[in-house]
Amino acid sequence: MRFTHYDLGPLAAGDVVQVHLNGNAANVKLMDGPNFTNYRQGRGHRYVGGLAERRLTRLAVAHSGHWHLTVDLNGLVGTTHSSVDVVRN
């Protein structure tokens, strides 16, 4: 599976990850380290997010730790470009 990966590093609970999309809708997933490993290996994983159809999506960090964000078109048609920034709490 092809995806764009952002290693966000350590984030605190309450921080907000802003994902900017330019193009088609995409699957946007914010995950901690263990869930990102499962995602990469095609196993079940938990995440915040899902199908993003707007140009700007905001995702709240659930708990402090090391976080990853992925953007993919799995099951979707088209192309999209993404960028990410973090608003610290």
- 74 DSSP 8-state letter: T
Predicted pLDDT of residue 15:
98
Task: State the pLDDT at residue 38.
Answer: 98
In angstroms, the CA 16 to CA 83 distance is 14
The owner of tokens 């048609």 is 77
- Domain positions in the chain: 4-76
**pLDDT at residue 1, as a whole number:** 80
DSSP 75: T
Global pTM reads: 0.95
Taking a C-beta distance cutoff of 8 angstroms, is the pair 23, 79 a contact? yes
What DSSP string runs through 36-57?
HHHHHTT-----EEEEE-SSEE
Q: Going residue by residue through the chain (89 aa), what tens digit of pLDDT does each one get? A: 899 999 999 999 999 999 999 999 999 999 999 999 999 999 999 999 999 999 999 999 999 999 999 999 998 999 999 999 999 98
